Structure 1
């Protein structure tokens, strides 16, 4: 699963939403992370993650699927899976 989207939540303060997708853009994994001001709580965002198939959602919208596939391919070409981004 490759990082395809990073946004800030409109509903919650200090929440970042990371979306990872398969290379074909058909499946996705959404991860929410609280932003913190503590310097000791450093968590890197990696270019890719391993996710159990039972935790994946299906991308129904064809345009979003194409966008996810294109971004996943771009990330896979530019980064190693464990690279921080």
Structure 2
């Protein structure tokens, strides 16, 4: 089950960082629940080389903002990566 920080908020862990293939200079951060069944995607536009925004190992998000991961292989991958992040990092560690 997901680690819940309060009634409406769920803690999710960084499991994937993807760079956009197009010219929009986007980074897509994917966070997952520890069991890999729910995810949260965050797009970040890089506006310049001096644009520094911290990416933390985990974030707390409203449960209504979580998507469902339907593919069993992706669920397994996300669960393994979320566990690795939990084992190595505190939630507020900058990654």
The interval holding the TM-score normalised by the smaller chain is over 0.9
TM-score normalized by structure 1? 0.93
- TM-score, normalising length from structure 2? 0.84
Higher strand share: 2
Unaligned ranges ≥5, structure 1: none
How many residue pairs match? The answer is: 84
Instruction: Show structure 2 runs of 5+ residues with no match.
Output: 1-11
State the partner residue of 2:80: 70
Give the corresponding residue for 2:16: 5
The residue correspondences of 1:1-85 to structure 2 (distance < 5 A) are 1-37=12-48, 39=50, 41-85=51-95
The structure 1 segments of at least 4 consecutive aligned residues displaced by more than 3 Å after TM superposition are none
